[in-house]
Structure 1
Amino acid sequence: MKNGERTISSALKNSILLVTSNENKYKEIAEIAKDYKVELEWLKIPKLEIQADTLEEVVRYSAIVIFQLVKRPLIVEDSGLFIKSLNDFPGPYTNYVRRKLGLEGILKLLEGKNDRSAYFKTSLCYIDEARQLLFNGTVNGRISDTIRGEKGFGFDPIFIPEGESRTFAEMSTEEKNRYSHRSKAFKAFLEYYTNQ
């Protein structure tokens, strides 16, 4: 096993599970957790993604189902890219659209459009025996004209956060976490969790 990855049977009892099959997401979030001295374990399984109109519905459903299986405090996170001139498409369908259309497909849909404003949003659901809590994070920005950068994942190479000229894929993890929607949602959770 690597980078904090665990299976259900080998998970430690006093930590929070992060449910994702995406190693990059785990690394981003684990970096933030260190600052709060929270032990985070990677439960490397895919979240159950229902078709829904909001990210909150997706993460809540997945968290409830997985909690019934593992009976451990856990976090499920989902992020979406919302593009204004495309009526907030792809939104909660971002992962599916990335697989089917890719970065080039989104850039093609935006050809001839002057408004390239967009935002990334993360919804995170924490669940344990007593609570189901939702935390959100948003970062405004715009879609670049071209694919830029080798770092990051997903739509990072075409998203430029507000106040920047670089895409997320042109930033280090530490730099991205200063702006990131995922970082904002997770920090909101950690502030709550470490101050209860």
Structure 2
Amino acid sequence: MDKRKTVFFATSNIGKVEEAERTLKEYGILLLHLPMKLIEIQSDNLEEIAVFSAQKAWENQGKPLFVEDAGLFIKELNGFPGPYSSYVFKTISNEGILKLMSDKGNREAYFQSVIAFCNGKSTTTFKGEVRGEISKEIRGGHGFGFDPIFIPEEGDGRTFGEMDISEKTAISHRTKALKKFAEWIKSLDYSKFI
């Protein structure tokens, strides 16, 4: 029997699962994927969205699990697309964001990730953020979503889309949130918590 702590990740996004597996494995935590479409509320607050989704996923699955929600916040666009990033990507994609940014001088942006863990008794959140800027063109074929147009400050001038998964996970917003979550999980007497 595997003695590692196990966590369930409710998501339909395989890219997120791959990032989470890599990070949690470093902490000796086994990730089990619960493929499901999450119910999300309309809110301009990522934490509210993640908490609601985690609680609804727990109601559906009946087991301790976590969800992750992320958004791209662009300064010149007053934080848009923010918590609506997934919808905006599906509707106007990277090309649409670049068009909105075509006449903007300030290209500052940040990605934020919020993890919400729900065990049916309580919900705990963890945040991660990475600052950077929007590129002037789509660059790279790795990752997903807005990765090909986001250049992280902590990087070397490449977009997330130009980095392989190990390079991206070394500095990503999701990894930062996952590391906080993993440290917390490791500190628990998990058998009493679940």
TM-score, normalising length: structure 2? 0.92
Distance 1:111 1:126 in 2: 39
**1:22: which partner in 2?**
13
Q: CA deviation at 1:136?
A: 0.3
**2:49: which partner in 1?**
58
1:41 matched to 2:52: no
Aligned 8 A contact 2:108 2:132 in 1: yes
**1:86: which partner in 2?**
77
**1:125: which partner in 2?**
116
**1:170: which partner in 2?**
162
Distance 1:178 1:63 in 2: 25
Distance 2:50 2:168 in 1: 23
**1:102: which partner in 2?**
93
**1:190: which partner in 2?**
182
Task: Summarize the alignment of residues 108-147 of structure 1 with structure 2, pairs less than 5 Å apart.
Answer: 108-147=99-138
Q: CA deviation at 1:175?
A: 0.7
Give the match's secondary structure for 2:182: helix
Distance 2:60 2:95 in 1: 38
Give the match's secondary structure for 1:16: strand
Backbone CA RMSD of aligned residues: 1.0
Q: CA deviation at 1:131?
A: 2.7
Distance 2:141 2:37 in 1: 24
Identity %: 45
Distance 1:19 1:129 in 2: 14
Q: CA deviation at 1:46?
A: 1.2
Q: Choose which of 151, 165, 171 in structure 1 pairs with 2:142.
A: 151
AA in 1 matched with 2:19: E
TM-score, normalising length: structure 1? 0.91
Q: CA deviation at 1:139?
A: 0.2
What 5-or-longer segments of structure 1 have no aligned partner? 1-13
Aligned 8 A contact 2:55 2:120 in 1: no
**1:7: which partner in 2?**
none
Distance 2:171 2:125 in 1: 20
Q: CA deviation at 1:95?
A: 0.3
Aligned 8 A contact 2:132 2:152 in 1: yes
Aligned 8 A contact 1:156 1:167 in 2: yes
Q: Choose which of 67, 71, 83 in structure 1 pairs with 2:62.
A: 71
Distance 1:192 1:131 in 2: 14
Distance 1:31 1:166 in 2: 21
